[in-house]
Structure 1
Amino acid sequence: MIQIFKLKELNQVELSHLEELNSWWDKPVDKKIAKCKLFISKFGLQPNDYITFDSLKEVNFNDYIRGVNNYLNFYTPKLKTIVSERHAFKKFDKSIINYMQLNGYTASISTIASFYTEEVDHDLNKFNKIDAINFANKVLLEKWNKFKREVLSTFGGNEIIKDVIKGIFENEVIYDGVFFDSRIIVNTIVKYASNLLKKTEITEKQFLNIMYLAYLQSNFIESFIYIYKGFTINLK
């Protein structure tokens, strides 16, 4: 699942427009980079083994994206254990949260660049806030739809549980000009899975997988919207 959050590099037009924007995101991004680099040192690795820079300003934005994507290589061989053993999950949970927040920040910045490229307005006085948010929602909905498929596949052929999950998904509401935030639905699914585990109706592995998916989805959404609001706050 984490591989669906692999970031796409920007084209030259998007990069040029990104340079024209006031980068209000530098400080939160740099904090997440520092935490990522600190965490891997606990495994006998060097801080620069995956992300070779300490600040977003040190590198071209596409080089920055490559570094964030490269950090996925740290998690990939460990994912099977993380979603199978509770102690392993607890060992990595804060790190996953931090990485997904960094990923969400980055995806949001890239989305701003893409929107800015489609609706060029150097003075930012013709941009429409509703259009900007709807543009962002395309990204949020893409991730959400993949999340739903992964959740349902976790329960295999148990159609009773899957029907309940589908019923929870029906609470999904999309409003014009409002950020699509699925975190309440995600939390409801986690609570439902927790109750199933207590009743031994699902395995611990299934529960941990739901928790893992929830961590990815919720932290991506939170950080994506946080950065994007800095863009839309001054739009009409």
Structure 2
Amino acid sequence: MAISPHRVSGGASGPRLHHERRQELGQSFQDGGEHYHRVRPGYPADSLDWLLPAGTRFAADVGAGTGKFTGLLFDRGLEVAAVDPSRDMLEQLRKTWPQVNALEGTAEATGLADSAFDVVSVAQAWHWCEPLKASTEIARILRPDGVLGLIWNQLDTSVPWVHRLSRIMHAGDVHKPDFRPVVGPEFVDLESHLTAWQETLTPADIIELAKSRSYYLRANQATRTKVTGNLEWYLYEHLGHAPGETVGLPYVTQTWRARKARSAPPR
């Protein structure tokens, strides 16, 4: 399918972060695509299995970053478009999946065609979006009864040592048990699915993972030095891991899906 881009205007507010604050934090990810792609975890196949509606052929991955979730969609044989505001992230995505139609845009203004997709995924990015305007835009590019998927990888903080690790890393995006994402009235039947899994890393990999997070990226050098020092103490001295030893880091992937409403919401 040839996807003809056309621009629409973007929009305004989110549930937990003020607009300017989201922009400030989001700027942390404008560079460093290669590092992000190398150290950030992928997503379990179970998440996509649960998300995809039967008969899916066309998918858009919005806030695609370096393509961690995009690759799952492409490997299923789908025709995929990827949208992200960061040129650096998209450059990395194009290197890995040159067959994907990748373009600059946002969840509020994707630049994609009307009613072109069976599913639109937003992985690890909905918290950077303005959810009501993003919902309107995503409903525009979805076909009738199309599915919106919102996906988050979360450190499994029910495991005590991971909970402490998340505090040292300043992983502030770990959701509370009552978390429910905000979506617009264009979507109905919001439901969730959890996948528990582990990624095998070395202690050095975990430290590099911390360096890919917004807290570290926007910190001054003194704060960065403190974070890495605390992680080295925790991993090597307190937990007793040796350099190069493999560690199973527990994750929970939280997948939400909602169906495009059949009638337009009242204005």
TM-score w.r.t. length of structure 1: 0.29
Structure (1/2) with the larger strand percentage: 2
Greater relative contact order, per chain length (Cα 8 Å cut-off, separation 6+): 1
Structure (1/2) with the larger helix percentage: 1
